[in-house]
Structure 1
Amino acid sequence: MKLVGMLDSPYVRRVAISLELYGLDFEHEALSVFRDYPAFSAINPVVKAPTLVLDDGTVLMDSSLILDYLEALAPVDKKLLPQAPAERARDLHVLGLALAACEKSVQIVYEHELRPAEKLHAPWLDRVTGQLLAAYSQLDKHLADSEAVTQASLTAAVAWSFSQFTVASVVNAHAFPNLKRHAERLEQHPAFKRYPIE
């Protein structure tokens, strides 16, 4: 399998770390959707990161869809989502908060880096920032006692590290001590160290 995309994307990074935890062999091709558009387009004309090319040439995109496929492949002892419905719902709740944090962080980055300064829309930025902080406030409560490495816990850590890497001025780390501690612990895990934010 080949994973295409840059590790500065939280979506690409969560898939890379998950592949490592699943014990699946893969090649990582670090192509940017901006700088390497023609090369990325040759692999996936939609140019969406992450893209996963399966051994038979099937192209999957969207991190959640890719991870759904990988979870189905994983043996029981390597699955990253609980199988029991109630436990799975709890993890999916946390996962939804983490993905919302990723999305809102990316929106803030794009607003500042891609939109001309004179066209920044303050009410939109305020709204997105409020959504981001709300997601982290909820995650901080849910991750107070989290120790296991699951899809929810790893995505929360990836989201937090991405926000600190890109929008730290918006997200005060000291306001979310449980989440900060959780992410710092997981960033020491070998799978996280192997695929750091670039």
Structure 2
Amino acid sequence: MKLVGMLDSPFVRRSFITARMLGIPFEHQSLSVFRHFDAFHALNPLVKAPTLVLDDGGTMVDSSQIIAWFEHLAGPGKSLLPAEPADLQRCLQLTGWGLAAAEKSVQRYYETAVRPRDVRSPDWLERVTGQIRDTYAMIERHVGDADWLCGARPTQADITVAVAWRFTRFTAPGLVDDSDYPHLSALATRAEGLPAFRAADFP
């Protein structure tokens, strides 16, 4: 299998890290949907990152669907989702919040770095920025004092939240401060020290 996309995308990066943590063998191909449009289009006409090119030549898109497939391939005992219903509910809840933070951060990046200045919407930018901060504040209240969000080991919630935090800090320096989200910041630091995260590092 081949995972296509740049690791500075939170959705590509969470897929990459998940595959590594589940022990799924794959090849990574760094293609940008902007700079390498033609090459990406040749692999997948949707030009959507991440794209997973399957062994039979088919493609799969959307990081959550790709991760669901990785979970299936990993088999019993390797899941990054807790088995206990209460822990699973918490994990899915926090994963969803992490995805929301990532999505809003991507929207903010496009508005400030991609869209021409004369057609940017200050009202939209203010709204999205507020949503990012409010989402992280909600996550901060649910982090707690344990090393990981949903048990004794990292889960998909830890991956997604930490990846989103890194992306926001990378694309919008100063937007969220460690001192305002100390538990979340500490969680992200622990996650970034894991081998799978280090393998998915980007400049």
TM bin (shorter chain)? over 0.9
**Partner secondary structure for residue 60 of structure 2:** strand
Partner in structure 1 of residue 189 of structure 2:
184
**Partner secondary structure for residue 20 of structure 2:** helix
Contact 1:162 1:197 in 2 (8 A): no
- Runs of 4+ residues over 4 Å off in structure 1: none
CA deviations 1:156-197 (Å, max 9, x no partner) are: 011101111111222122210001000011111111111103
CA deviations 1:114-171 (Å, max 9, x no partner) are: 1121222111111111111111011112222242210011110111011111112221
Deviation at 1:85, TM superposition (A): 3.2
**Partner secondary structure for residue 67 of structure 1:** helix
Partner in structure 2 of residue 123 of structure 1:
123
Contact 2:24 2:73 in 1 (8 A): no
**Partner secondary structure for residue 80 of structure 2:** coil
Q: In structure 1, what residue type is equivalent to 2:192?
A: E
Partner in structure 1 of residue 28 of structure 2:
28
CA distance in 1, matches of 2:173, 2:136: 13
Equivalence map 1:73-92=2 (5 Å): 73-92=73-92
Which ranges in structure 2 are unaligned for 5 or more consecutive residues? none
Partner in structure 2 of residue 13 of structure 1:
13
CA distance in 1, matches of 2:143, 2:51: 29
Partner in structure 2 of residue 68 of structure 1:
68
CA distance in 2, matches of 1:166, 1:22: 28
Partner in structure 1 of residue 42 of structure 2:
42
Q: Normalising to structure 1: TM-score of the pair?
A: 0.96
Does 2:114 align with 1:114?
yes
Contact 1:146 1:153 in 2 (8 A): no
Q: Normalising to structure 2: TM-score of the pair?
A: 0.94
Contact 2:44 2:51 in 1 (8 A): yes
Give the root-mean-square deviation of aligned CA atoms.
1.2
Which ranges in structure 1 are unaligned for 5 or more consecutive residues? none
Structure 1 stretch displaced more, 33-42 or 53-62:
53-62
**Partner secondary structure for residue 35 of structure 2:** coil
The count of residues paired between Structure 1 and Structure 2 equals 198
CA distance in 1, matches of 2:112, 2:82: 38
Does 2:190 align with 1:166?
no
Partner in structure 1 of residue 59 of structure 2:
59
Equivalence map 1:90-101=2 (5 Å): 90-101=90-101
CA distance in 2, matches of 1:56, 1:118: 46
